Amino acid sequence: MAKVPKPSELELQHVLPKTDWMDTPAVFRPGNFSYPGKAKNLKVLGLANPREWSPMDEDWKLPADWKNIILEGLRERLDKYRTLKVFMDICVRCGACADKCHYYLGSGDPKNMPVLRAELLRSVYRKEFTLAGKIMGKMVGARDLTEDVIKEWFMYFFQCTECRRCSLFCPYGIDTAEFTIIGRELLNLIGCNIDWIAGPAANCYQTGNHLGIQPHAFKDMIDFFVDEIEAVNGIRVEPTFNRKGAEFLFVTPSGDVFADPGTYTLMGYLMLFHEIGLDYTWSTYASEGGNFGFFTSHEMMKRLNSKMYAEAKRLGVKSIIGGECGHMWRVINQYMDTVNGPADFMEVPKSPITGTRFDNAASTKMIHIVEFTADLIKNGKLKLDASRNDNLVMTYHDSCNTARGMGFFDEPRYVLNNVCNNFYEMPPNTIREQTFCCGSGSGLNNDEFMEMRMRGGLPRANAVRHVHEKFGVNALSCICAIDRAALPTLMNYWVPDVTVYGLHELVGNALVMEGETERTTDLRGEPLPGMEDNENEDI
């Protein structure tokens, strides 16, 4: 029987031995990895090596020539991506990125330092693709590609949320997300992926959205919200589906259709569009704004994203409006037009209400709902009663993708300031371009990964707690569907008194609609400020 350790032994037990990082293998234990992709999902997507396996197994059942596959894959990608090629060579290991990663800050695990995450791939590159590495090996930071290296890649490329915070601070702009994206691509070549990504991607591919909701159910859900809105303010909004000839196609993450609190955000969209009389349609085919393909490979991202333009073309809309989502907007802003464009069958988006032409989307023909709403408010087209949100003391979380993959900062703040009266920013080194990740992005918001998510989200939660204690903040708003799914959980653990809201839920609360009955509750059915008594009378 093992001896019971003395307390003094326990205290020091966790200090890592002085081993070089290359000699420290990745150890999988429940809570620090995501479940591997199920064979059936891989088959739907035509991905390699579908099988049943677990990262905790000794044998990962890799294909016989896995090493060759990886090296060929790497060679091909070095020739295809200048990012990869340049970033392989120019890092000086200055360490500026080291303490910028939320996973590193929350866990203290040195392999979560972005520079080391990149070195995991670089070390193999040196060995196989540089003369010095071939000759001098470990002396120049090169190492052989072994199964242990694959295991380490799997652990750490699925412990990065592609948030790009490190890239902001890098003097050469080295972007760890590129290493993660391409690292995951390589892992996918030999069938090492996670089900929380493969599952939604397979559903999205086949059925049109991550949850695999079929068209009739999708419509049914939206109709359900129509009833809910009517119960709140007596207005019956009339969304249409797959309607040809509409002026706009509207696409949002399907999380908003099924998951709380995104559902309330979706009710906000419905109310807004109804109030301004927008000629728009939903699509059950392109019913997913999110793109878990992006967390698989560039190719999978393109395959899933193709539906947006295809559907816009089929329906003959003039332009597209996109809902609140983070990585969806990174894809739209930085990839969509390149991979699936040109969108020359549409027109430069123009607000039919204000006449504003969105020249900043002249080529993609797709605008963000928040810039659309900001323009409406600026032109005085909306009647808003911000006092309906007076029970909320608000702060705002910039989602990584819209922050560092777009620069979308002042539009949401403008809307927020018009729909609520109490707004406090979190400290400057935790917002805007320096924003901290929710800890669950890039397909890692699964429940088996909960401990890591709580660790990774700690820097964000810590900043929320600060404004909670200092200003009494009780509400956290965001414009990202993964945030809306992950932040409530994060708050639950770290700052339980803070509730999470999507921006357009707050718009929906504040929006005074033509012909509405007296509002007594917000979209969640909670009494509005000052209406608490009425509510009691009703009961």
Partner 1 sequence: MAIEHHLKKHREEISQKWFDLLACTYPQQTVRLFKKESDPFANPVGQTFKAAIGEILDEFLGENRAEALAPLLDKVIRVRAVQSFSPSEALGFIFGLKKLVEEILEEELAEGEMEMGDLREFEGKVEAMGLLAFDVYTRCRESLFEIKITEMKSNTRRLLERAQLIIGE
Partner 2 sequence: MGIKFSLAAVVGLILAAFIGVSGGGLSHFFGVTMPYLAILLFLGGVVYRVLKWGRAPVPFRIPTTGGQEKSLPWIKHAKFDNPSTKGQTVVRMALEVFLFRSLFRNTKFELEKGHRLFYQWEKWLWLAGLVFHYCFLVILLRHLRFFTEPVPGFVQGIERLDGLLQVGLPGIYITDGLFMLAVTYLIIRRLIIPQVRYISLPQDYFPLFLLFAIGTTGILTRYFFKVDLIKVKTMVMGLISFHPVVPAGIGAIFFVHFFLVCTLFAYFPFSKLMHAGGIFMSPTRNLPNDNRIRRHVNPWNYPVKVHSYAEYEDHFREKMVEVGLPVDKELEPAPKATADS
Site for partner 1 in 86-145 (CB under 8 A): 98-99, 104-110
Minimum Å distance from CB 27 to partner 1? 9
Q: Which two tokens stand for residue 298?
A: 């560039």
- Which residues between 187 and 226 bind partner 1 (CB under 8 A)? 211, 213, 217, 220-221, 224
Minimum Å distance from CB 220 to partner 2? 7
Distance of CA 230 to CAs 240, 260, 520, Å?
Answer: 17, 19, 13
- Which residues between 31 and 90 bind partner 1 (CB under 8 A)? 31-32
Count Cα neighbours of 223 within 13 Å in the Cβ-side half-sphere: 7
- Which residues between 157 and 196 bind partner 2 (CB under 8 A)? 164, 167-175, 178
C-alpha span between 489 and 487 (Å, rounded): 5
Q: Of 203, 211, 159, 164, nearest to 444 (Cα)? A: 159
Task: Report long-range pairs for 240-243 (Cβ below 8 Å, ≥24 apart).
Answer: 240/280, 240/281, 240/282, 241/281, 241/282, 241/283, 241/284, 242/281, 242/282, 242/283, 242/284, 242/285, 242/315, 243/281, 243/315
Judged by CB under 8 A, the stretch of 231-239, 381-389, 431-439, 443-451 that binds partner 2 is 431-439
Q: What x-and-dash track marks residues 343-362 binding partner 2 by CB under 8 A? A: -------------x-xxxxx
Element (H, E) at 321: strand 319-322
Q: Which does 164 bind (CB under 5 to 8 A by kind): partner 2, partner 1, none?
A: partner 2
Buried b (16+ CB within 10 A) or exposed e, 326-352: bbbbbbbbebbbeebeebeebebbbbe
Instruction: Give CA angle at 504 (238, 202), nearest 5°.
Output: 80
C-alpha span between 143 and 122 (Å, rounded): 9
Determine which residue in the list 144, 359, 451, 538 makes contact with partner 1, applying CB under 8 A.
Answer: 451
Q: Closer to partner 2 at the Cβ: 208 or 459?
A: 208
Q: Closer to partner 1 at the Cβ: 267 or 361?
A: 267
SS3 for 134?
A: helix
Q: Which does 353 bind (CB under 5 to 8 A by kind): partner 1, partner 2, none?
A: none
Judged by CB under 8 A, the stretch of 53-61, 86-94, 411-419, 458-466 that binds partner 1 is 458-466
- Which residues between 473 and 502 bind partner 1 (CB under 8 A)? 485, 488-489, 492-494
Minimum Å distance from CB 46 to partner 2? 7
* Cα-to-chain-centroid distance, residue 56: 27
Determine which residue in the list 127, 302, 318, 504 makes contact with partner 2, applying CB under 8 A.
Answer: 302
Residue 337 lies near partner 2 (rule: CB under 8 A)? yes
- Asked if 467 contacts 430 with a C-beta cutoff of 8 angstroms, the reply is no
- Contacting residues toward partner 1, per CB under 8 A: 5, 7-8, 10-16, 18, 29, 31-32, 98-99, 104-110, 211, 213, 217, 220-221, 224, 255, 257-261, 263, 427, 429-430, 447, 450-452, 454-455, 458-459, 462-463, 466, 485, 488-489, 492-494
